[in-house]
């Protein structure tokens, strides 16, 4: 979601606001998180990787490439960003929609553009407080 979390796409100035104080929640040893933990690993802070950072405080890409990108989805910071996007915390949903509205209008008549994917692979953020979001189709109905 953000270079601050070894991802991409979201500007740092939005991500910094959202990730302040991000923490892991829930019982990661419980059965509800068993599959998520097996695939993504346990929730942890991006800082716990102890990666070298650039002058802007972003982990270096060479460091980020040490781990498969999807493993960063369960960092406290990434989960906070996904949740803010789905629930409009910090007006993030509104900002996201406005960005894609401007982009869509810009390229609407371009014959070489057949579509766009504004949210590739949406992650079920906040499953820590609602494990049902990990079940197929539930995230779509409850958050998207």
Which are the catalytic amino acids?
A: 121
Across 110-124, b (16+ Cβ under 10 Å) vs e yields eeeeeeeeeeeeebb
CB 21 within 8 A of CB 119: no
User: Which of these, 90, 68, 88, 70, lies nearest to 19 by C-alpha position?
Assistant: 90
């Amino acid at each position: 979601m953000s270079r601050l979390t070894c991802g991409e796409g979201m500007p740092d100035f939005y991500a910094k606001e959202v990730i302040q104080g991000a923490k892991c929640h829930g019982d990661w040893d419980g059965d509800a998180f068993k599959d998520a933990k097996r695939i993504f690993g346990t929730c942890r802070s991006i800082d716990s990787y102890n990666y070298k950072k650039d002058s802007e405080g972003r982990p270096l890409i060479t460091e980020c490439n040490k781990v498969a990108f999807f493993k960063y989805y369960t960092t406290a910071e990434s989960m906070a960003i996904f949740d803010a996007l789905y629930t409009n915390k910090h007006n993030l949903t509104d900002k996201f929609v406005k960005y894609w509205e401007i982009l869509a209008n810009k390229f609407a008549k371009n014959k070489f553009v057949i579509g766009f994917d504004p949210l590739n692979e949406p992650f079920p953020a906040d499953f820590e407080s609602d494990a049902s979001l990990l079940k197929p189709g539930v995230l779509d109905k409850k958050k998207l």
